[in-house]
């Protein structure tokens, strides 16, 4: 007799996991920090954001049937890295943005010096979350998670992509150059979210790691293409941030390079690639990962 799998309710799954992530973040972020630092750290992280990275980490942790606490630590760690990158990106010397998720950005609210420090402390806290001192996560997993996160956040990942982005304003990047930049800038951390969730398991088949890597690679690129599409199709109220900013800043985007229709088609083609990779993973239940991939491409903000 084969078991009939329970119906998968994507919206309910996301809502439940989101609650867990928000609760964990609210319990962890800025704990032990002086109040003048805890306040901007918590403001930067709590009460907003789609938490797509956290959800990917938790979906991967579930897909490999690893312990939930490990997945939650991985999920929160990637959110802290994402949050710190937004705080620093918004600063006057970078994008000089005053609005984020419909609220004043951290440096507007707390001053530039506190925003700088809060971002720095959030990056460190991500690694604190991955190295609990109470034996709740085996050292092998701690080491793997720290290694994945450091590489995704650093010069060969997110920070490197931001540097290329910064050096590319006003330049005519071709599609391979743009793809490389986004693979680092946003793709690396999205990929790490999936791989860190998976790394919560004691061991994985090489086939599974390769498939999840391909899944996350396609998904990461799709995420950026959709971002570029939304920058021209959505308004500030829906986005919760300034719209049309890339075009105004003469930044290269998939829309400026391919046109709107081809960019939208690319996003859907990447979604198909991601789904095909998932089918190769040899994991029994990847429905949450699949649902998140669909969400990424079909989101409107």
Can you give the binding site for its own copies, defined by CB under 8 A?
Answer: 30, 32-34, 36-38, 41, 84-85, 88, 91, 93-94, 111-114, 116-117, 119-121, 123-128, 130-131, 133, 139-140, 142-144, 146-147, 149-151, 153-157, 159-160, 162-164, 166-167
Closest to its own copies by CB, 160 vs 229, is: 160
Closest to its own copies by CB, 142 vs 233, is: 142
- Give which of 52, 113, 107, 116 is closest to 84, Cα–Cα: 116
Closest to its own copies by CB, 48 vs 154, is: 154
Closest to its own copies by CB, 150 vs 234, is: 150
Closest to its own copies by CB, 72 vs 255, is: 72
Q: Reduced to 3 states, what is the DSSP secondary structure of residue 109?
A: helix
**For residue 133, what are its two tokens?**
């001192």
Neighbours of 145 (CB within 10 A): 28
**For residue 271, what are its two tokens?**
């979604």
**Within 13 Å, how many C-alpha atoms sit on residue 242's CB side?**
14
Closest to its own copies by CB, 192 vs 243, is: 192
Q: In the complex, what is the shortest distance from the CB of residue 134 to its own copies, in angstroms, rounded to a whole number?
A: 11
Query: Would you say the C-alpha torsion 84, 89, 17, 191 has a positive or negative sign?
Result: negative
- Give which of 57, 45, 31, 21 is closest to 145, Cα–Cα: 57
Quick check: 187 and 227 in contact, CB under 8 A?
A: no
**17-26 LR contacts (CB < 8 Å, sep 24+):** 17/54, 17/55, 17/58, 17/59, 18/51, 18/54, 18/55, 20/58, 20/72, 21/51, 21/54, 21/55, 21/58, 21/72, 21/75, 21/76, 21/79, 22/46, 22/51, 24/72, 24/75, 24/76, 25/76, 25/79
What's the distance, Cα to Cα, between the start and end of the chain in Å? 44
**For residue 215, what are its two tokens?**
């899944």
Closest to its own copies by CB, 140 vs 236, is: 140
Closest to its own copies by CB, 159 vs 257, is: 159
Q: In the complex, what is the shortest distance from the CB of residue 51 to its own copies, in angstroms, rounded to a whole number?
A: 21
Q: In the complex, what is the shortest distance from the CB of residue 37 to its own copies, in angstroms, rounded to a whole number?
A: 4
Neighbours of 8 (CB within 10 A): 12
């Amino acid at each position: 007799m084969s078991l009939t799998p329970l119906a998968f309710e994507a919206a309910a799954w996301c809502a439940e996991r989101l609650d867990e992530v928000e609760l964990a973040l609210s319990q962890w972020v800025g704990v032990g920090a002086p109040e003048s630092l805890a306040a901007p750290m918590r403001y930067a992280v709590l009460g907003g954001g789609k938490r797509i990275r956290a959800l990917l980490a938790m979906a991967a942790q579930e897909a490999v049937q690893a312990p939930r606490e490990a997945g939650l630590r991985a999920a929160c760690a990637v959110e802290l890295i994402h949050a710190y990158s937004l705080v620093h990106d918004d600063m006057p010397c970078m994008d000089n943005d005053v609005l984020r998720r419909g609220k004043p950005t951290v440096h507007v609210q707390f001053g530039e010096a506190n925003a700088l420090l809060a971002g720095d402390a959030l990056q460190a806290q991500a690694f604190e979350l991955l190295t609990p001192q109470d034996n709740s996560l085996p050292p092998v997993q701690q080491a793997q998670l720290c290694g994945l996160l450091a590489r995704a956040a650093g010069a060969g990942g997110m920070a490197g992509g931001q540097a290329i982005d910064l050096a590319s304003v006003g330049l005519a990047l071709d599609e391979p150059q743009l793809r490389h930049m986004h693979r680092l800038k946003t793709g690396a951390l999205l990929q790490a979210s999936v791989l860190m969730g998976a790394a919560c398991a004691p061991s994985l088949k090489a086939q599974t790691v390769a498939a999840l890597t391909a899944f996350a690679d396609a998904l990461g690129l799709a995420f950026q293409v959709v971002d570029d599409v939304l920058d021209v199709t959505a308004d500030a109220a829906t986005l919760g941030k300034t719209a049309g900013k890339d075009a105004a800043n003469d930044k290269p985007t998939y829309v400026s390079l391919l046109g709107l229709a081809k960019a939208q088609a690319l996003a859907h083609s990447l979604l198909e690639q991601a789904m095909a990779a998932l089918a190769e993973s040899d994991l029994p239940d990847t429905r949450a990962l699949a649902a998140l991939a669909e969400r990424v491409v079909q989101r409107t903000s």
